[in-house]
Structure 1
Amino acid sequence: MLFRAFWRVLALCALCWAVGSHADGEIWRLPSRPGAEVSVFWLPAASPAFANVVLFPGGGGGFGRVVNGLPDSENFLVRIAAPLAQAGLNVAIFGRASDHGALDYPDRVTDWHLADIHQVLAAVRQRAPGPLWLMGTSRGTVSAAAAAIQEGAAIDGLVLTSSVVGDKPGALPGQALARIRVPTLLMHHQHDACTVCQPERVPALLPALSQAPVKALWWIDGGGSPSGNICGPLHWHGFIGQDAELARRLAGWMRQPRATP
């Protein structure tokens, strides 16, 4: 117990020496486990915040380099970080642990990864008390769902976009979704061609979220011209061409969660 308390204090104290301050946001490096720290990009809301949101990008995780005050990753959630902040959310982008590289599927349901997430959530609460949401995209949905299950009532809501529903470790159909007891939004592009995010398998997640007080499924269509890998951020999988509109809609739903009609 004392050991866990020690690391919790270290994580919170790390806010006092957050490094890499930028015009718009700042990078935190939070002690999370013995000999390890996790990076976070923090972007405060442009106006008084109505909530905090921790973003879990897909792929191998991380948020790229910080250029002119903002991270340069092409991942969907990293791209909409600034619009979410404009819409009234304090945004924390979960980065990577110092003792691990890219986050693969199995990594995202490990004890060490969930411990890192727990410390990040504690740091966000210390920095900005208020409702706390989790949002993941693609592989990041594995992390976000696993953390929502572990954290229980300590979080206030969950958003899952381009959910992993295929045969991968940590895929959402294999997680204990019935243990999630917070408002939950699923958002998926109708033309997502990623082989582990098949649109036809997404609706089955709704009944699995049996204890969520409010749950909704949004089907997205249209957008810009898709390019690159079908599982990449610039294809339908990454909602290309719709960043500002989707950020606005997501923030609106988080303000007032409503079930799918």
Structure 2
Amino acid sequence: MAATILLGACLAWAGGARAEVAAGGVMRVDTRGVSVPLYAAWREDAVATVVLYSGGNGGYGQVGADGWPGSQNFLVRAARLFAAQPFNVVLVGLAPDLRELDGRARLGDSHAQDNQAIFKAIKAKSAAPLWLVGTSMGTISVAAAAIRDGAAGDVAGIVLTSTVTAYKREGAVPTQDIGKIKVPVLVVHHQQDACGICRPWEAKTLASRLGGAPVTKTMLVDGGSEPGGDVCGALHYHGFIGMEQQAVDLIANWIRHPAP
């Protein structure tokens, strides 16, 4: 459960330019009498399916002319980078009756039922292991889903980026019963994240609370460029601005080979 500090100079991606990946499309999953949209890009050679939970109020925004969702959220911006890996990529949209996924809604039974239906729909499309990846408020959803997964065994592992750690925020990951999580957990946080509810030094302590997880890893990263706007926003260090490729590579490599 050791914490690893990776400096920006060590994060440089050594490969060359990557080929453009094919866009996915929108599918819908019926649950609770409503239909939840997903944006999904599938690959025949996928070794895992990453299910991405964005921050803020959730969702993935509008699909643009290039065929990809246009939200500035870190995970939505990085979706095609994940798709360049041997992964299926699924972005979770908003149920029509849950248009604002605050902490309470992310912990609620309706969101949990939606997630269970989503996991089953994905597994019907691909047998690849299911990894949940959340950023900021999305980490509340991911932690809650992993806790509830229990004996179902749908989830192979989770990744928490820019984790909500402040106890004052309903649903903050440390306030959940995360000792019940039974799958590998990766925590990735930017050392310069200045968001008041996602403090780096608190993210460092999460691994000590994950006693049920077979493998945990904490990566505190540094790097990126030209942060702007709200310090809790997608275009600041909180959203790994300017280092999206490096962050995705770290996450993807760990998903393929989880190790302390």
Same fold by TM-score greater than 0.5: yes
Q: Does 1:193 align with 2:190?
A: no
Q: CA RMSD in A?
A: 1.0
Following the alignment from structure 1 to structure 2, what is the Cα–Cα distance between the partners of residues 255 and 100? 33
Work out the percentage of aligned pairs sharing the same amino acid: 42
TM-superposed CA distance for 1:129, in Å, is: 1.1
Name segments (4+ residues, structure 1) moved above 2 Å.
none
User: Aligned residue for 2:30?
Assistant: 31
SS of the equivalent of 2:94 reads strand
Q: Which residue of 1 aligns with 2:53?
A: 56
AA partner of residue 248 (structure 2): A
Is 1:238 matched up with 2:236? no
Deviation at 1:37, TM superposition (A): 1.4
Q: 2:128 — aligned with what?
A: 130
Superposed counterparts of 1:78-157, under 5 Å: 78-152=76-150, 153-157=153-157
Q: How many angstroms apart in 2 are the aligned matches of 1:71 and 1:80?
A: 10
Partners of 1:244 and 1:203 in 2: how far apart? Answer: 23
Equivalent in the alignment of 1:43? 41
Offset at 1:28?
A: 1.2
Task: Judge conservation of contact 2:164–2:173 (CA < 8 Å) in 1.
Answer: yes
Q: Distance in 2 between matches of 1:243 and 1:198?
A: 20
Distance in 2 separating the partners of 1:239 and 1:201: 18
Which AA in structure 1 matches 2:163?
Answer: S
Tell me, in whole angstroms, the C-alpha distance in 1 between the residues paired with 2:212 and 2:98. 34
Secondary structure of the residue aligned to 1:70 is coil
User: Could you list the runs of 5+ residues in structure 1 that have no partner in the other structure?
Assistant: 1-22
Normalising to structure 1: TM-score of the pair? 0.88
Q: Distance in 1 between matches of 2:99 and 2:154?
A: 28
Query: Aligned to 1:119, what secondary structure does the other structure show?
Result: helix
Flag the structure with more relative contact order, 1 or 2, with Cα contacts below 8 A and sequence separation at least 6.
2
CA contact (8 A) 2:119 2:154 kept: no
Q: Distance in 2 between matches of 1:240 and 1:107?
A: 28
Deviation digits for residues 20-54 of structure 1 (CA, Å, limit 9, x no counterpart): xxx611111211112x1111100124x61111111
Q: Which residue of 1 aligns with 2:159?
A: 159
Return the alpha-carbon distance in structure 1 between the equivalents of residues 80 and 104 of structure 2: 30
- Among residues 70, 73, 83, which one is paired with 2:71 in the alignment? 73
Residues 58-110 of structure 1: CA distance to partner in whole angstroms, max 9, x if unpaired? Answer: 00101011111100000011111111111111011011001221211111000
After TM superposition, give the deviation of residue 222 of structure 1 in Å.
1.2
Structure 2, unaligned runs of 5 or more:
1-21
Q: Is the 8 A contact 2:98 2:105 kept in 1?
A: no
**Structure 1 residue 243: deviation in Å?**
1.0
Matched to 2:73, the amino acid is N
Give the equivalent residue in structure 2 for 1:210: 211
Query: Residue 71 of structure 1: SS of its match in structure 2?
Result: coil
Secondary structure (helix, strand or coil) at the match of 2:30 reads strand
- Which has a greater percent of helix? 1
Aligned-partner Cα distance in 1 for 2:29–2:259: 35
Distance 1:247 1:235 in 2: 16
1:154 CA displacement: 2.1
One-letter amino acid of the structure 1 residue matched with residue 94 of structure 2: R
Whole-angstrom CA distance in 1 between matches of 2:165 and 2:98: 25
Paired with 2:246 and 2:208, the residues of 1 have a C-alpha distance of 28
Instruction: Give the letter for the 1:234 counterpart.
Output: L
TM-aligned CA deviation for residue 196 of structure 1: 0.4
1:51 maps to amino acid:
A
Partner SS state of residue 97, structure 1? coil
Structure 1 residue matching 2:90: 3-state secondary structure: strand
Task: Report the residue type matching 1:184 in the other structure.
Answer: V
